């Protein structure tokens, strides 16, 4: 069975660029974003990632620059 994988980008947000963020740029996902808030512990963050991955299945997240390169092709 072939799984439809989404275009998920991993990068950092915030003024200092230290807040982890996952964003799905696949059609129909409306740039859905998961941002790790400073008060979220590791276990809660892993649960949030698993829930995000269920809605936006991906094999690996790419960087923003890799995503920009894909758009050029």
pLDDT of residue 37 exceeding 80, the answer is: yes
pLDDT of residue 33 exceeding 80, the answer is: yes
Q: What is the mean pLDDT of residues 11-20?
A: 89
Position 1 scores a pLDDT of 37
d(CA 4, CA 21): 22
Q: What is the mean pLDDT of residues 23-31?
A: 93
Hey, which residues does 23 pair with through a beta bridge? 9, 33
């Amino acid at each position: 069975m072939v799984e439809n994988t989404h275009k998920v980008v991993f990068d950092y947000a915030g003024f200092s660029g230290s807040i982890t963020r996952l964003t799905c740029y696949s059609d129909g996902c409306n740039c859905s974003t998961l941002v790790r808030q400073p008060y979220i512990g590791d276990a809660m963050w892993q649960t949030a990632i698993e829930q995000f991955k269920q809605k936006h299945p991906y094999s690996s997240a790419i960087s923003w620059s890799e995503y920009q390169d894909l758009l050029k092709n």
